[in-house]
């Protein structure tokens, strides 16, 4: 027996996104479309969409908390996602971000972006390709 998907009833008036509750829709409108950042850091000028984002910021930036420790080395991180990325790139040596212009591959998307900007001039044709094209 196939279970039917629950229909979302609350559509965003500005885009095609739908929500299960009016409060979720309203939060979406405030933070995405109105770009509101109602949660101001008491220590600096940073402001955030949600209370959880502010709490994470205070813990990692101002309190310098590094609660997520690597089991393979002495590295520690403020966010679990940073630890996960570290393990994949450093210890598992994963290079999931391949350059479409050459054989280079990188562990982080930001490294691929930097590579593309410096080596391939943001994906434009390199000098060799330009000479061959003329």
Q: Could you report the per-residue pLDDT of 79-123, keeping only the tens digit for each?
A: 999 999 999 999 999 999 999 999 999 999 999 999 999 999 864
Residue 11 lies in a domain: no
Structure tokens at 2: 């196939």
The reported pLDDT for the residue numbered 34 is: 93
Residue 117 lies in a domain: yes
Q: Residue 8 above 70 pLDDT?
A: no
Are 56 and 66 a contacting pair, CB within 8 Å?
no
The reported pLDDT for the residue numbered 6 is: 53
| Ranges 28-32, 65-69, 96-100: which has the least confidence | 28-32
Residue 120 lies in a domain: yes
Residue 61 lies in a domain: no
The reported pLDDT for the residue numbered 128 is: 44
Q: Where does the pLDDT of residue 29 fall: very low under 50, low under 70, confident under 90, or very high at 90 and above?
A: very high
Residue 106 lies in a domain: yes
Residue 108 lies in a domain: yes
User: Which H helix or E strand runs over 110?
Assistant: helix 109-119
Q: Residue 26 above 60 pLDDT?
A: yes
Domain that holds residue 112: 97-126
User: Which H helix or E strand runs over 11?
Assistant: strand 10-11
Residue 7 lies in a domain: no
Burial of 24-61, coded b for 16+ CB within 10 Å and e otherwise, reads: ebeebbebeeeeebebebeeeeeebbeeebbeebbebe
The reported pLDDT for the residue numbered 121 is: 83
Are 48 and 37 a contacting pair, CB within 8 Å?
yes
Are 103 and 109 a contacting pair, CB within 8 Å?
no
Q: Which of 54, 52, 35 is nearest to 43 (CA)?
A: 54
* Residues paired with 18 in a beta bridge: 11
Query: pTM, whole model, 2 decimals?
Result: 0.61
| Number of domains making up the chain | 1
């Amino acid at each position: 027996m196939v279970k039917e998907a629950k229909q979302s009833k609350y559509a965003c008036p500005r885009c095609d996104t739908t929500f299960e509750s009016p409060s979720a829709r309203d939060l979406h409108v405030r933070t995405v479309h109105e770009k509101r950042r109602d949660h101001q850091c008491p220590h600096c000028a940073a402001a955030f969409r949600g209370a959880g984002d502010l709490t994470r910021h205070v813990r990692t930036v101002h309190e310098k908390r590094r609660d997520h420790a690597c089991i393979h080395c002495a590295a520690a991180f403020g966010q679990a996602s940073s630890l996960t990325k570290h393990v994949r790139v450093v210890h598992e040596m994963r290079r999931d971000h391949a350059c479409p212009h050459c054989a280079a591959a990188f562990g982080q998307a930001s490294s691929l972006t930097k590579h593309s900007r410096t080596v391939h001039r943001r994906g434009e044709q390199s000098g060799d390709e330009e000479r061959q094209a003329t």
